Amino acid sequence: MSFGRLDRSSGAQPMSDINMTPLIDVMLVLLVIFIITAPLLASSIKLDLPKTDAAKASDVPKAVMVVVDAAGQAFLNDQPVSPDELARQFVTAQQANPDTEVQLRADTAVPYGRIVEVMGAAQKAGLNRIGFVADNPAAAASPQRATQTPAPAAVDARKP
């Protein structure tokens, strides 16, 4: 019997290399999260824009003014027109310039259905730029500013 050392295994050696697989997996997951959330962040920015009387609507190449009075009668450029004539005039305006904007002024007493009919005729003719003209409440209260022409609120009615 010899009293010598027993053979022992030296055990696991320390690893000097970094395992890159989990690091790459985490980075790819983060990349996918950023790709998905980046467009959502850009479109959900809430702004409180300053208000000024000098703000103007963007210039458009051409506009047709449609007025609907309290009785529901439509006027195109201050001339009374029937619904069929209005549709024909919209087609003519679209053929002359496809970027023509329809500026719609309607009395508050006009039924919503009549406004939708006018908008539908414009869109059917291919005029997708519709601006709703409204009065500034401050201008209505002050008589000196009531003579100014109100700026249209532009609405893009293009189908997605």
Residue 95 lies in a domain: yes
Gap between the Cα atoms of 94 and 126, Å rounded: 6
**Does residue 68 lie in a domain region?**
yes
Q: Are strands 63-68 and 101-106 parallel, antiparallel or unpaired?
A: parallel
Q: Please check whether residue 110 lies inside any domain of the structure.
A: yes
Number of domains comprising the chain: 1
Establish if 13 belongs to a structural domain: no
Would you say residue 102 lies in a domain?
Answer: yes
Q: How many residues does the chain have?
A: 160
pLDDT digits (tens, 9 = 90+) for 98-108: 888 888 888 88
**pLDDT, the chain, mean:** 76
Please list the ranges in the chain whose pLDDT falls under 50.
44, 59-60, 145-149, 159-160
145 domain residue, yes or no: yes
How many CA within 13 A on the CB side of residue 30?
A: 6
Bridge-partner residues for 131, per DSSP? 103, 154
Range of the domain at 145: 63-156
